[in-house]
């Protein structure tokens, strides 16, 4: 992580716990909004930094596709392998360089925005090429922001008025127990914290299996909640089930969640945001959880 703008190389997955060995995710520091806050909506001005391994970053990448923002917001993709320098650019199939800032590593984007930044150099990051700063590094904000993007977005409404209460309630219900629940399981520092996280994960999967109306969560409308659920489901069998020990059941054991996963993959634009290779290679390169770095051959996925 960065401390007063200096990179410290001893990366560990957990920087904060709840006192009982439970993983606590740090909050995001940059919370600007395109269309407000002096970040005028302009095509070609903004750049998105993502890792394909990362569910939070993938939310924003999917929104960029579904909202017709590919020509408005450019993208850099990091290598999936977490290094001593954190996320780095290039050097891996499907990873790109950083044509905007010429950075070697993601932490340089943070210090370009704030030379004395303290915190983790996370993805996603939405960068403003004009003001040369980070607009926002919170995926929930970027996903919501891209629904409109100061009037430049088009396509499906991911946050329709009549579903907002259900969207907000379901987002809240699945964040801690499932989206972050898998991390609370994998990064648990005590048996108690792990047991509680795994119980949350499967209670929520069971609940979602019952609640999905089909083809999407709330019926025919594809909303941001579908994106938030999908990014966790698509990583579950290839990575979380093994590495994070969320192994009571696989998504493949849930017929309706599997049907939903395949529906999402068939939505134009979504499949190309998913790289099972980046997901497996990335998660299994977390040395704290997998010191050998060996990536498992399986599982066989009937959707990949």
Ligand X SMILES: N[C@@H](CCC(=O)N[C@@H](CS)C(=O)NCC(=O)O)C(=O)O
Cβ atoms of 222 and 267 closer than 8 Å: yes
Token pair in block for residue 156: 């499906």
- Pairwise CA distance, residues 216 & 208, whole Å: 11
Token pair in block for residue 188: 């648990």
- Pairwise CA distance, residues 200 & 121, whole Å: 28
Active site residue 92: no
Cα maximum dimension of the chain: 50
Closer residue to ligand X (CB): 54 or 113: 54
Active site residue 254: no
CB of 79 to ligand X, least distance (A): 13
CB of 105 to ligand X, least distance (A): 11
- Pairwise CA distance, residues 297 & 218, whole Å: 35
The footprint of ligand X (CB under 6 A) covers 28, 54, 56, 86, 120-124, 137-139
Closer residue to ligand X (CB): 139 or 204: 139
Look up tokens 């970027």; give the residue: 142
- Choose, from 110, 183, 194, 283, the residue flagged as catalytic: 183
Q: Is 205 left (phi over 0), alpha (psi -120 to 50) or beta?
A: alpha
Buried b (16+ CB within 10 A) or exposed e, 221-232: bbbbbbbbbbbb
CB of 250 to ligand X, least distance (A): 21
CB of 146 to ligand X, least distance (A): 13
Cβ atoms of 101 and 72 closer than 8 Å: no
- Pairwise CA distance, residues 60 & 50, whole Å: 8
Token pair in block for residue 272: 């190309």
Closer residue to ligand X (CB): 138 or 237: 138
CB of 134 to ligand X, least distance (A): 12
For every residue of 75-143, DSSP letters joined together read: EEEB-SS-BTTBSBBSSSTT----TTT--SBTHHHHHHH-TT--B---S-EEEETTTTEEEE--HHHHH
Closer residue to ligand X (CB): 15 or 154: 15
Q: In angstroms, what CA-CA distances link 285 with 10, 21, 74, 120?
A: 15, 22, 27, 18
CB of 168 to ligand X, least distance (A): 16
- Pairwise CA distance, residues 35 & 33, whole Å: 6
Closer residue to ligand X (CB): 32 or 124: 124
Closer residue to ligand X (CB): 120 or 281: 120
- Choose, from 54, 194, 283, 284, the residue flagged as catalytic: 54
Tell me the CA end-to-end span of the chain in Å, nearest whole number: 34
Q: Which residues are the active-site residues?
A: 54, 183
């Amino acid at each position: 992580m960065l401390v007063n703008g200096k990179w410290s190389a001893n990366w560990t997955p957990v920087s904060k716990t709840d006192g009982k060995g439970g993983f606590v995710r740090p909050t995001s520091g940059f919370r600007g909004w395109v269309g407000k806050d002096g970040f005028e909506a302009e095509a070609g001005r903004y750049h998105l930094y993502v890792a394909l391994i990362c569910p939070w970053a993938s939310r924003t990448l999917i929104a960029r596709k579904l909202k017709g923002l590919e020509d408005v917001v450019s993208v850099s993709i990091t290598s999936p392998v977490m290094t001593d320098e954190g996320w780095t650019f290039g050097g891996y199939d499907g990873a790109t360089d950083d044509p905007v800032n010429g950075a070697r590593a993601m932490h340089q984007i943070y210090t370009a925005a704030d030379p004395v930044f303290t915190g983790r150099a996370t993805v996603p990051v939405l960068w403003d090429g004009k003001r040369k700063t980070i607009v926002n590094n919170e995926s929930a904000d970027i996903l919501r922001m891209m629904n409109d993007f100061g009037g430049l977005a088009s396509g499906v409404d991911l946050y329709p008025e009549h579903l907002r209460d259900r969207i907000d309630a379901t987002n809240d219900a699945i964040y801690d127990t499932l989206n972050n629940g898998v991390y609370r399981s994998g990064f648990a520092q005590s048996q108690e914290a792990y047991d509680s996280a795994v119980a949350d994960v499967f209670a929520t999967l069971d609940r979602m299996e019952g609640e999905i109306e089909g083809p999407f969560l709330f019926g025919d409308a594809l909303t941001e909640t579908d994106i938030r659920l999908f990014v966790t489901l698509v990583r579950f069998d290839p990575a979380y089930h093994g590495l994070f020990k969320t192994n009571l059941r696989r998504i493949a054991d849930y017929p309706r969640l599997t049907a939903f996963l395949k529906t999402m993959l068939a939505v134009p634009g979504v499949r190309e945001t998913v790289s099972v290779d980046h997901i497996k290679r990335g998660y299994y390169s977390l040395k704290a959880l997998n010191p050998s770095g060996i990536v498992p051959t399986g599982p066989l996925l009937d959707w990949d």
